[in-house]
């Protein structure tokens, strides 16, 4: 792994994931978490300020990047909820079945190499009847935008750490045998090829 991929790129992506429109998306889903929370792609802790400490008892994070995790020190120190990190891979999470009351995944399914396998892991770890809270960018409904997403994807993956510009988020959930209690979608401010968002609740 080169210096750019190890140090520069993760910081750039972290900054991009902390801009105002994306923060507003996080605020729509994260406060609904309850109990023991499994967060996929916890990164530098951008979701931590949005958890409700009266509803959440513990946050267990999964993330592959040691350097970005270290950047979460201040966010963890400011968070009144116990936070820990286990494992590196969303596809293979070292937790027992039915271990979490809520799973939170925001702006991570675009990068996970096997997102369907990861979603099945989330389903396994959830207690029966509980929920996955999500917000992700993905495939746009406009044919012209979707075409450009497909065109840029090979290059975008290389320069953005494996991020896919236009994954079909609803289809991924369905392939993992998950159903939606709520599925909202919209463009948020930003380049259209990267700013179509899906967010809501699945089980």
**pLDDT tens, residue by residue, 23-77:** 999 999 999 999 999 999 999 999 999 999 999 999 999 998 888 899 899 999 9
- The residue assigned the tokens 């079945």 is 97
**pLDDT tens, residue by residue, 105-117:** 999 999 999 999 9
Q: Distance between the two ends of the chain, CA-based, in angstroms?
A: 37
pTM over 0.85: yes
Could you tell me the fold of the domain covering 3-202? Rossmann fold (3.40.50)
**In sequence order, what are the beta bridge partners of 84?**
60
How far, in Å, CA of 134 to CA of 176, rounded? Answer: 14
Strand duo 180-187 + 196-202: pairing: antiparallel
Q: So where are the chain's domains?
A: 3-202
């Amino acid at each position: 792994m080169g210096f750019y991929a190890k140090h520069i790129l993760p910081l750039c992506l972290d900054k991009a994931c902390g801009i105002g429109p994306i923060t507003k998306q996080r605020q729509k889903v994260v406060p609904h978490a309850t109990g023991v929370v499994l967060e996929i792609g916890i990164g530098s802790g951008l979701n931590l300020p949005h958890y409700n400490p009266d509803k959440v008892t513990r946050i267990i994070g999964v993330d592959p990047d040691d350097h970005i995790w270290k950047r979460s020190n201040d966010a963890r120190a400011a968070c009144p909820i116990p936070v820990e990190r286990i494992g590196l891979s969303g596809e293979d999470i070292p937790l027992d079945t039915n271990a979490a009351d809520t799973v939170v995944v925001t702006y991570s399914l675009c990068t996970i190499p096997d997102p369907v396998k990861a979603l099945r892991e989330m389903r396994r770890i959830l207690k029966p009847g509980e929920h996955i809270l999500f917000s992700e960018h993905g495939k746009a409904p406009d044919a012209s935008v979707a075409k450009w997403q497909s065109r840029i994807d090979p290059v975008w993956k290389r320069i953005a750490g494996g991020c896919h510009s236009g994954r079909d988020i609803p289809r991924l959930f369905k392939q993992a045998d998950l159903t939606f209690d709520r599925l909202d979608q919209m463009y948020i401010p930003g380049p259209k090829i990267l700013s179509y968002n899906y967010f809501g609740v699945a089980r």
